[in-house]
Amino acid sequence: MYSSDYFTQADAATHHMNEEYVKLLNASDYAEGVKEMEQIAKGGSFLEVGCATGKLLFALKNAGFNVKGIELSAFAVQYAKDNFGIDIINKPFDERLMGIEVFENEFDIVLMGDVLEHFTNPTEAMVLTQKILKPGGVAIIHLPGTLNLISSKLAFIIYRLIGSQKTMTVPPYHLTEFSAKTIRHMGKITGFNRVEIKQEVKHPSTIPLRGTFLENLVKKSLQYPNYYLTKWFGVAGDRIIVKAYK
């Protein structure tokens, strides 16, 4: 799933749209990300799970952070080494890493940006994250929440009523769909002391439209009220930003 093609081929049918993923990753200087991490633990210990080609790690290392990265793609790990001089752990993020690659109470910050939904066992990943954070440390988790949108909820109702199904054209690499309620519960049962959640939503002009003309029309029309509902009241967003504190 995460071979070189995932990073180097552009395809409008995937979430990478019309640009190669590696180009999208390299397009940013990650200044805002560095600033956010400095506000939490300037110069602290930082782990990014699913760090892709390591561009954020490179920026944080230059800002004085002690960084580690974990990435499943051998291509991305080699890219990080060749282009940024960063050695990344090329193993799954699971309990087998404990005491070898990561250690209890090691990190001030663990970042999982659009990663947790890819795990076959996200609860196990959250338990491990809690263990390797220092007391008072924070796990920052970015999640897609596409099925939380008004258009998605309406589509489920309609397809169920007419006895039809919709098949997605993108590969099934999102294995779990989260809501604010479920990720808050997961944080609680895996030992985090406090879970803060913020919901965001794409502007209607930026949403991907991969359905029929009618489906796309309904989706775009409903995105406008959804946009302001999320902006004003923080609900029904298609992005879930989580800060879980140990």
DSSP state at residue 110: E
Does an H or E element contain 233, and which?
Answer: helix 213-233
Return the minimum-mean-pLDDT range out of 22-36, 46-60, 214-228. 22-36
Q: The pTM is what?
A: 0.91
> Pick from 103, 66, 73: which is nearest to 89 by CA?
73
**CATH architecture of the region 105-246:** 3-Layer(aba) Sandwich (3.40)
| Domain boundaries of the chain, sorted by first residue | 105-246
pLDDT tens column, 204-218: 998 888 788 988 899
Mean pLDDT confidence for 56-74? 96
List, in order, residues 6 or more apart from 60 with CB less than 8 Å away: 30, 33, 34, 37, 46, 67
Mean of pLDDT over the chain: 91
Q: What is the pLDDT of residue 6?
A: 77
Cα–Cα nearest to 48, from 28, 77, 20: 77
Quick one: average pLDDT of 69-81?
95
The Cα–Cα gap between 210 and 172 comes to 16
Distance CA 2, CA 54 (A): 15
pLDDT digits (tens, 9 = 90+) for 173-191: 789 999 999 999 999 999 9
Query: In 3-state terms, what secondary structure has residue 3?
Result: coil
**Cβ count within 10 A of residue 120:** 10
| Residue 229 CB coordination number (10 Å) | 17
The pair of three-digit structure tokens given for residue 36, joined into one six-digit string:
């956010």
Provide mean pLDDT across the span 114-138. Answer: 96
